[in-house]
Structure 1
C-alpha cells in the first residue's frame, strides 16, 4: 500500500482537478440522527473520483477525508453517511495526503508532492495558514499534532518538519517552521525510495511514532526535540506496507495493503505486541484510519490507477477493546 499510494499520488497529480464545490457554510450543522450508533452506516460513499488519502475524526460525529485529486476535504456525517465538500479543489498539483484534527477544530493537512502543509478551519472550510516545507522534491506524507507543535513526515528524506504552536495553539509564521533531521536507528532508503509515511503521537503524548517501510516494515519512536529514532520491538509483527497509523489509548491501528494491523503499546511507545489483524470484504486498499466512538473508520485508497470516474468509499469496523486515553496531545482521536 505504501509505494502503491505514492504511485497513486503521482497519477492523481497528473490527472488534474476533479471537483470544485464551494465550502460548507457551517461544518457543524445539525443533521437527523438515527436512534442509536448501531444504526449508523458501516459504509460511507465518497464522491466519485475523490481518490481519498487521509482521514480524521473528532468528538463530534463527523469524519474528514482528504482527496489526492486537488486537496479537497469531504466532511461525512457518521450518523447518516451523508456529506459534503467543505474545502474546494485547489487545482492540479495539490493533495490532502495526510490529515490530523486538533482540539480547536483545525485540520492540519499534508500536501504530498506540492510540498505544502496547510491548516484549515473545519467550521468555515477556510485555510488559516499554509507552509512550504523542504525544497524541490519534497513529498510531505502525513501529519500528527502534539501539544506544542505539528509534525509532518517526508516520504523520501530523513527529516520531520516541525510547525510550532503557541501556548494557546497560535499558528507560527513561515520562518518559524523547522526541519528536524532523523537519526539513531533511522535508516533512509535509496534516493526515490519511500521510507516514511504515517505518523502519530505516542500514548503519553511525549514523542512520535513513524511508520518506517524498510526492513520488513517497522515503527520508529522519534524524539520530537532531537529527531533520535528508536526502533520499536513489535513482538514478531511485520508491517511491510504500513501507511496511516492512529492510536486509541495504547492501541495502535496501522493501515496496510489489505488489512488493518492492531498492536498494543506501552505508554511511552517503546514496546508493542501484536493483537490482531482486521480484515473486511469491504476494504479496498486501506490508506488511513480514524477513530470515533467504538468504530474505526478506514479510508480506502481504491485501484492503483485512479480516474475521475472511479467510485470510492470508507468502511467502518468495530474497534478492538478500548484502553485508556492520553490527555497530553492536542490531536483528537475520538
Structure 2
C-alpha cells in the first residue's frame, strides 16, 4: 500500500516498449515457490466475470488466490474483514469478521499448509495472521507492538518475510514441515547496504527468488531492490528500457515480475535475469492497463490472468464507495 496523494485513473493501454541494448543476460529460473503447483493447474483459467465486485465501503488493499482453483481472498483496511470470493462466479462472502482497530493489507496463499497469510495494523502496532483458506478460521496470530506499517509479505521455502514500510527492517516467521510455523515468535533483519531512506512509505511489495534473495519494491525511491535475507544488505536492480516509480505489490511468474503501480498506469512487466557476477537485472517489457483500473494496489495470478485490487486511494467518501477486482491477461 502507498499513501494516497490524489485520485488517479488511467485508461490507456501501454504498448510494449522498445528495449535498449544490454549486456548478455542469463535467464533467471522460475522463482522459488512454497510448494510446486502442477503445470496443468497453473495453465487452467478460472474464467468468470472480468470485474469482480467487493462490498461497498470495503476499502481493499491485498489479494491472493489459490493457483488452479477459483477461490480468491481480499482484506479490508476498514476493520480487517477478509472476503472469500469466486473467480468463476464473482460471488462471495466475509469469512473472517472485522475487528475494531484492525486494517489488513498484503495477502499470500501457501499451498503447502492451505493457509492465507496476511499483514496489517492492529491498534498502534502490527499484526500477522494465518487463516485457514477452507474454513476462514484464524490459525495463527502474531502481534508486533513496535511495527510502524506492516504492508506486504512473501512466502519463501523456510519462512514468511514481511515488509515494515516505515522502518528499515524485514520481519521473518520461520516455517517448518508442511509450511506450518516453526515457533511462536518472529525475528527481524535490518535493511542496510544501498537501501535508501527516502519517502514516508519505503519497503513495499516483496517476493523471493530462487537464489534465496528477496525482491523488494521501494515506494519512495522507486525501482526494484535485491536483498540478502541473511544480512539485509540491499542492492539496486538495474532496469533496462524504463524505470519504476511508486511500486506497490509484486507478483512473479517464472522470470517475469509484475509490479503494480510501478509507473502509475497499472501493472508494469519486467523480465528478470542474471548478468555479470550473477547480478540481478530487469528488462522492461511493457504495461498492463485497463479502463476499469482505479489505483490498483496488488495483484494475483490465476491461470492466464492477473486479478488486481482497485484500492481507489483518494476516492470521495471511501466508506460508501464501490470497490472491485479487475481481470486482465498476465502478459502485455
Aligned partners of 2:204, 2:165: CA distance in 1, in Å? 6
Equivalent in the alignment of 1:51: 59
Q: Would you identify which runs of 4 or more consecutive aligned residues in structure 1 move more than 6 Å?
A: none
Equivalent in the alignment of 2:203: 196
For 1:87-123, what per-residue CA distance to the aligned partner results, in whole angstroms no more than 9, with x for missing partners?
11122x2111101111121111111464111111111
Give structure 2 stretches of 5+ with no counterpart. Answer: 8-43
Equivalent in the alignment of 1:181: 190
Aligned partners of 1:179, 1:39: CA distance in 2, in Å? 40
Aligned partners of 1:286, 1:162: CA distance in 2, in Å? 27
Q: Does 1:207 align with 2:187?
A: no
Equivalent in the alignment of 1:309: 320
Q: Which has the higher contact order (CA 8 A, sep 6+)?
A: 2
- Following TM superposition, by how much is the alpha carbon of 1:38 offset from its aligned partner in structure 2, in angstroms? 8.5
**Aligned pairs (5 A) from 1:41-190:** 41-59=49-67, 60-91=69-100, 93-103=101-111, 104-112=113-121, 114-133=125-144, 135=146, 138-175=148-185, 177-189=186-198
How many residues are matched? 286
Q: Does 1:259 align with 2:270?
A: no
Give structure 1 stretches of 5+ with no counterpart. Answer: 8-35, 322-334
Equivalent in the alignment of 1:17: none
Q: 1:165 and 1:76, CA in 2 relative to 1: closer, same or farther beyond 3 A? A: same
- Partner of 1:224, secondary structure, is coil
Equivalent in the alignment of 1:4: 4
- Following TM superposition, by how much is the alpha carbon of 1:39 offset from its aligned partner in structure 2, in angstroms? 5.5
1:249 to 245, 254, 271: 254
Q: 1:313 and 1:205, CA in 2 relative to 1: closer, same or farther beyond 3 A? A: farther
Aligned partners of 1:94, 1:205: CA distance in 2, in Å? 35
TM-score with structure 1 setting the length: 0.80
Greater share of residues in strand: 2
- Following TM superposition, by how much is the alpha carbon of 1:194 offset from its aligned partner in structure 2, in angstroms? 1.3
Q: 1:3 and 1:237, CA in 2 relative to 1: closer, same or farther beyond 3 A? A: farther
- Partner of 1:3, secondary structure, is coil
Contact 2:166 2:202 in 1 (8 A): yes
Contact 1:213 1:239 in 2 (8 A): no
Q: 1:194 and 1:303, CA in 2 relative to 1: closer, same or farther beyond 3 A? A: closer
- Partner of 2:3, secondary structure, is helix
- Partner of 1:265, secondary structure, is strand
Segment of structure 1 superposing worse, 232-241 or 265-274: 265-274
Equivalent in the alignment of 1:222: 227
- Following TM superposition, by how much is the alpha carbon of 1:303 offset from its aligned partner in structure 2, in angstroms? 4.1
Contact 1:237 1:274 in 2 (8 A): yes
Aligned partners of 1:229, 1:261: CA distance in 2, in Å? 22
- Partner of 1:168, secondary structure, is helix
Equivalent in the alignment of 1:300: 310
